[in-house]
Amino acid sequence: MAPAVPSAMDRPHFIGIGGAGMSGIAKILAMRGAAVAGSDARASATTEALRALGVTVHLGHAAGHLAEDASCVVVSSAIRPDNPELAAASERGIPVVHRSDALAALMEGDELRPIAVAGTHGKTTTTSMLAVALTTLGLDPSYAIGGDLDVPGSNALHGSGEIFVAEADESDRSFHKYAPEVAIILNVELDHHANYASMEEIYESFLTFVGRIRPGGVLVVSADHPGARELTARLTREPEPGRDLRVVTYGEADDADVRIVKINQRGLASEVTVLADGRMLTFAVSVPGRHYAGNAVAALAAGTALGLPVHNLASALGSYTGVGRRLQLKGTAAGVQVIDSYAHHPTEIAADLEAIRGGAGDGRVLVVFQPHLFSRTQELGIEMGQALTLADSALVLDIYPAREDPVPGVTSDLIVDAATAKGADARAVPGKDEIPELIAGMAKPGDLVLTMGAGDVTELGPRILARLES
């Protein structure tokens, strides 16, 4: 029997409904029978996918878009207080619900077994791997993912099964709202500088998330990442009285419960061998590099924590073929592969460049990087530049502001200067329109071009391919 739609969300209005997280919740509500409406700044493949489900989508933001009978207004942390639809909701006394509360409500109920995937990096990939594997096994899970599996609109599904897999976002502490049966923590690092002032605050936030795991539940946590190991140590040193929690570690470390024995990279894919439940298993991962292999093993450990046979799950993980913007091959033209990456934190940038380097053979790796957020660039710009030294050449665009206002003195030059100081070939290119021509003049057959960042740099892939073809 399908879970009911919470009465407060039977006629929801989403502000920014085309966003990755917002559209997923809207999609699940629509599939459960709610009369969903919303608005977004512009049309996209995602808004069209929502309309195909019967969702009313308005373009632009105006008070008149908010229906008279709206039961609530759903917002994310990116929505500014002066949004006209949010102001109209306040004037009319319509409840305002944060995206995380809406998702938490969808995951509630004794009939559901939620898995929440947390960590500074890798959440979307790991959630996607689990969703695909569970679907392959015929379990028909529900899922909410921060990216599209293979086609626009595939970031969420209301399934008939009991398992619900969701990303748990630490950026604004919204993952404190969820109560999973199984939680995954992939890594713990300082990011989101507008919300966290120190690593101590990060640890406190992740410990709060762990405290939300259902009694008798399981925490799957990396044995390799220093921040994750410290978190596990703190759990051991300061156990919560009466806590009924099983901890399962995974990774390449000798003391990992699910241990990665070997990773063989095969072009832009990998083959992973693990020791789990006393047996050796080898399975395929469709993306390259240690980072993504670790994501797959985290998914394996979480699935087995729910009681799924480890060999079946390992085989099913081979069905995963990728997710949008996570080393996604956009195409090949003139012998040059163009790949898109969402990486925007130095650790992610380095991991993706190392993975791509392993699959480039004798070709060069050319990067078009768009920094994301002034606050992140201010704090981590030097580390971003140092990570870009792993590329043969890097073109650095202006900072994508997203929800932030400019910060005086914080520009892409911070990144370029840090890269060139380490001997890298890097330069600032303010306008995206110049990029296709510049890449066409640089790239040779066998090279890999990587468009990288969390902003609109993803739009450049097709334009670069078109220019290479011409």
Catalytic residue among 27, 85, 167, 458: 167
- Tokens representing 104 are 């938490």
Residue ranges of E strands in 99-216: 113-118, 142-144, 156-157, 163-167, 182-185
Binding site, by residue number, is 119-125
Residue 123 falls in the annotated catalytic set: yes
- For residue 182, which amino acid is it? V
141-144 contacts at long range (C-beta below 8 A, 24 or more positions apart): 141/165, 142/28, 142/106, 142/112, 144/21, 144/24, 144/25, 144/28, 144/103, 144/106
The angle, 0 to 180 degrees and rounded to 10, between the axes of the packed helices 460-469 and 435-442 is: 50
Which of helix, strand or coil describes residue 400? strand
With beta carbons less than 8 A apart as the criterion, state whether 179 and 207 touch. Answer: no
Q: The sheet that has 426-428: what strands, in order across it?
A: 326-333, 336-341, 448-452, 365-369, 393-396, 426-428
Residue found under tokens 């938490």: 104
With beta carbons less than 8 A apart as the criterion, state whether 383 and 423 touch. Answer: no
DSSP H or E segment with residue 263: strand 258-266
CA 212 to chain centre: 21
Catalytic residue among 27, 47, 123, 389: 123
Please provide the distance, in angstroms rounded to a whole number, between the alpha carbons at the two ends of the chain. 54
Catalytic residue among 46, 47, 124, 377: 124
Residue 136 falls in the annotated catalytic set: no
DSSP H or E segment with residue 414: helix 413-421
DSSP H or E segment with residue 261: strand 258-266
Residue 124 falls in the annotated catalytic set: yes
Binding site for ATP, by residue number, is 119-125
Residues with a catalytic annotation lie at 123-124, 167
